[in-house]
């Protein structure tokens, strides 16, 4: 969805987004005690929110702007991330 329609949480800027089954991601999820049922779920790493004020022409995310279903892990990981276009 476009950044303005991210209904699950604020748009996040993540350092990287990889599948849950990737070797490094699987290890990190295991260490954090996070169970993900599908190895293809996109996981965002080291994420921080992009404020609503920043969305649009003033927004910047040098890495991956995403909308995530579950970001309850203090930005270390975010689960179910889909890329968004913040240049709206």
What's the CA angle centered on 41, arms 77 and 65, to 5 degrees?
55
What is the residue extent of each domain of the chain? 12-83
Q: What is the pLDDT of residue 38?
A: 92
47 within 8 A of 14, measured Cβ to Cβ = yes
Q: Is pLDDT above 50 for 3?
A: no
Half-sphere exposure of 55 (CA within 13 A, CB side): 19
Q: Is pLDDT above 90 for 18?
A: yes
Q: What is the pLDDT of residue 54?
A: 46
From 29, 12, 22, select the one nearest 81 (Cα to Cα): 12
What pLDDT, in 10s, does the model give residues 35-80?
888 999 999 999 888 765 544 445 567 788 888 888 888 878 999 9
């Amino acid at each position: 969805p476009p950044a303005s329609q991210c209904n699950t949480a604020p748009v996040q800027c993540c350092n990287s987004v990889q599948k849950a089954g990737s070797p490094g991601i699987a290890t990190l999820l295991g260490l954090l005690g996070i169970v993900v049922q599908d190895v293809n779920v996109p996981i965002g790493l080291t994420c921080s929110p992009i404020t609503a004020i920043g969305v649009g022409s003033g927004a910047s995310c040098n890495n991956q702007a995403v909308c995530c279903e579950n970001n309850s892990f203090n930005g270390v990981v975010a689960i179910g991330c889909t890329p968004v276009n913040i240049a709206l």
